[in-house]
Amino acid sequence: MTEATIERLRLFLIESPIKMARLQGVGNVKGTVKRVLLELTSSDGVIGWGEAAPWEVFTGTPEAAFAALDIYLRPIVLGKPVRRIRALMAELDRALVGHAEAKVAIEMALLDIVGKSSGLSVADLLGGRVRDTIPLSFSIADPDFAADLERMRKMVPDGNLIYKVKTGVKPHREDLDHLAAIRKEFGDKVDLRVDYNQALAPFGAIKILRDIEQFAPTFIEQPVPRKFLDVMAQLTAALETPVLADESCFDRRDMMEVVRREAADAVSIKLMKAGGLFEAQAIMAIADIAGLPGYGGTLWEGGIGLAAGTQLIAATPGISLGCEFYMPHHVLTEDVLEERVANRGGHVVVPDGAGLGIRVSEASVRANARVLAEG
């Protein structure tokens, strides 16, 4: 029997309108977000989808991811066996430094193809499910806090109980007022977290964070810039509230250093940082040894990338702190899936179909595409 190979690669640079502006600490977003969609077709006619969603202040630009895929990675991918995913990913790493988002798009599309060909979900391919739903965390990041509070009034009764407040963008006093308003209205019913996105300077950070602790957050995410790992360790030792590393941990080497320095109590696992689902599981394996739980973070993925994220979390026991996969339902005005990944009772429902378990709308992809490359 002839082994199926990759026969065609299509790329779409997508620009999608969003419903609200987002204040994110290291960078703000309004109007639209861009991402790259990848379609691979195997020699036996099976189609797989992937998504690259960089953010220019975090990992890179969508245009750079598009060029990496189109110019540098396309010649390597075409003609390769679809089932030899690890071998291909290693070859991509040797051929091109960085561009984790471009590489994870290829890996998720290959897993989508293999899953569809075998009748298995990506979670099955990653070792099998340990969970069918994932608690959903919504980020309070609208410049208009009153609008976010009104959203909470609608979401909490529906079972959405986890909220991560983006802090450090507005004055500290304003952050405290917002946290106080949430606790006053919703009390302990909501699971409250805070995320500084590296916004604090090391000098004086401990005083600010001790003010935050009065609101009993579940964790404080990345309070200082990633390069100040010693400061992260000092804060982790000094605070009663767990500290979660995001920008301080991109890969296995970072994870080992976080563990060695005791620089966090938990870690954010993002496919766009890790550059692969297998790599994300490897990072989490190191965290597991040290007893650090994982949180399913995102950048600006749409439904394809977030479907891959749900499959990863479904098959990875240590990612137990929920996920922030709210973009397609709450921020994007339109996604490219025929049917969005379900949210139910404050949880993301992991698709149970073969591959990623999704169906992509070709019409929606083309309607939102700014650039198309085929071959």
pLDDT at res. 333: 79
d(CA 190, CA 163): 7
Please check whether the domain covering 5-119+360-374 is classified as CATH 3.40.50.720. no
Q: Which of 272, 354, 267 is nearest to 316 (CA)?
A: 267
* 218-258 tens-digit pLDDT: 999 999 999 999 999 999 999 999 999 999 999 999 999 99
In percent, how much of the chain has pLDDT > 70?
97
pLDDT at res. 372: 75
* Residues with catalytic function: 166, 324
* 40-71 tens-digit pLDDT: 999 999 999 999 998 887 788 999 999 999 99
* 197-214 tens-digit pLDDT: 999 999 999 999 999 999
pLDDT at res. 371: 74
Average pLDDT over residues 353-367: 92
pLDDT at res. 24: 58
Counting Cβ atoms within 10 Å, is residue 154 exposed (0-12), middle (13-18) or buried (19+)?
A: exposed
Average pLDDT over residues 29-38: 86
Average pLDDT over all residues of the chain: 94
- Look up tokens 């026969």; give the residue: 7
* 108-162 tens-digit pLDDT: 999 999 999 999 999 999 999 999 999 999 999 999 999 999 999 999 999 999 9
- pLDDT band of residue 281 (cuts 50, 70, 90) is very high
Q: Is the pLDDT at 22 greater than 70, yes or no?
A: no
pLDDT at res. 17: 86
pLDDT at res. 28: 65
Cα-flanking dihedrals φ and ψ of residue 158, to 5°?
-85, 0
pLDDT at res. 122: 98
Q: Is the pLDDT at 310 greater than 60, yes or no?
A: yes
pLDDT at res. 306: 95
Indicate if 125-349 has the same CATH topology as 5-119+360-374: no
In sequence order, what are the residues at sequence separation of 6 or more whose Cβ sits closer than 8 angstroms to the Cβ of residue 278? 85, 86, 89, 107, 126
CATH number of 125-349: 3.20.20.120
pLDDT at res. 30: 66
Domain boundaries, the chain: 5-119+360-374, 125-349
pLDDT at res. 72: 97
pLDDT at res. 327: 87
